[in-house]
Amino acid sequence: MQILDDSDREIVKTRFENELVSEVNITLFTQTDLGGLIVPGRECETCAPTEQLLREVSETSELINFKKLDIRNDTEEAARCNVSRIPSFLVSKGDETNVRYLGIPAGTEFPVLIEALVNVSSGEPKISEETKGFLEDLEENVSIKTFVTPN
Amino acid sequence: MAHAMAAFTQKVVAEVIEVQEFPDLGNAYQVRGVPLTVINEQYSFTGAANEQMLVEHVKNALLKNLEGAS
């Protein structure tokens, strides 16, 4: 069963056709599908739906590359990306790791995923010149964590 | 909005966390309402923030960093 309905898919597809500029990657850290087998300590209720949603979104544009990694097998990449929980994904142009999401971007959080893809792909996020100036002048790294619940 | 800033510069690391899926993080960061934004692990505010407000909060967090360091 699809997560995105036809109308959502069309809206997303049109938006991407107009606003994606260059290739953009979604790297999902998850676990290998255990085929319904329940292994204590390995429960991950949202891993499969997160993967499906990200695949469906990535299929709406040829500019989106989707990569799935297994947190237990791809340990080197998980360490490089500082990922220790699943499901967790990064949106990037190359090997940068600073646009991050933990959990499933569903419901009211779905636009966050779309905006992240558009912003990273264009490299020109819709922020004011004043904010760009402030960010260019940053002398140290800034970590911003936003805790949300989808409705 | 934080993601937009991170898309502009790698100096910003922006992470959105779906707290119902990670209740341990919710406890660790004492999340009592959402959205809750935590900047540099020590400065936080609850509620939605537009671009200008978020920049102000980042500036406040950096000032707090400086105070903490002095």
> Pairing relation of β-strands A99-102 and A64-70?
unpaired
> Pairing relation of β-strands A64-70 and B12-18?
unpaired
Burial A33-51 (b: 16+ CB within 10 A, else e): eeeeeeeeeeebebbbebb
A18 touches chain B (CB under 8 A): no
* Residue B16 backbone phi and psi in degrees, to 5: -100, 135
Q: DSSP state, A128?
A: -
* Sheet with A88-92: strands ordered across: A64-70, A24-30, A88-92, A99-102, B12-18, A142-148, B36-39, B43-46
What is the nearest CA distance from A62 to chain B, expressed in angstroms? 20
A123 touches chain B (CB under 8 A): yes
Task: Look at B2 and B66; give whichever has higher pLDDT.
Answer: B2
> Pairing relation of β-strands B12-18 and A142-148?
parallel
Quick check: B2 and A125 CB within 8 A? no
Contact list, A44 vs chain B (CB under 8 Å): none
| Residue B70: predicted pLDDT | 60
| Residue A117 and residue A64 in contact, taking contact as beta carbons nearer than 8 Å | yes
For B28-66, write each residue's pLDDT tens digit.
999 999 999 999 999 999 999 999 999 999 999 999 877
Quick check: B22 and A138 CB within 8 A? no
CB-based burial label for B24 (10 Å; 0-12, 13-18, 19+): exposed
DSSP string spanning A132-144?
HHHHHT--S-EEE
ipTM of this complex prediction, to 2 decimal places? 0.96
Quick check: A141 and B15 CB within 8 A? no
| Residue A30: predicted pLDDT | 97
**Can you read off the two tokens belonging to residue A32?**
């290998």
Tell me how many domains chain B contains.
Answer: 1
Residues A8-20, mean pLDDT to the nearest whole number: 97
- Tell me the residue range of the domain where B7 lies: 2-69
Quick check: A120 and B12 CB within 8 A? no
CA A41/CA A44 separation, integer angstroms: 9
Quick check: A103 and B62 CB within 8 A? no
CA B26/CA A131 separation, integer angstroms: 29
Which residues face A146 on adjacent strands? B16, B37
What chain A holds in terms of domains, given with CATH numbers, is 6-136 (3.40.30.10)
| Residue B14: predicted pLDDT | 98
Residues of B with CB under 8 A from a CB of A: 1-22, 25-26, 29, 31, 34-41, 51-52, 54-55, 58-59, 61-62, 65
Q: Is the pLDDT of residue A37 over 80?
A: no
| Residue A60 and residue A12 in contact, taking contact as beta carbons nearer than 8 Å | yes
For chains A and B, count residue pairs whose Cβ atoms are closer than 8 Å: 155
Q: Is the pLDDT of residue A134 over 90?
A: yes
Quick check: B14 and A150 CB within 8 A? no
For A94-117, write each residue's pLDDT tens digit.
999 999 999 999 999 999 999 999
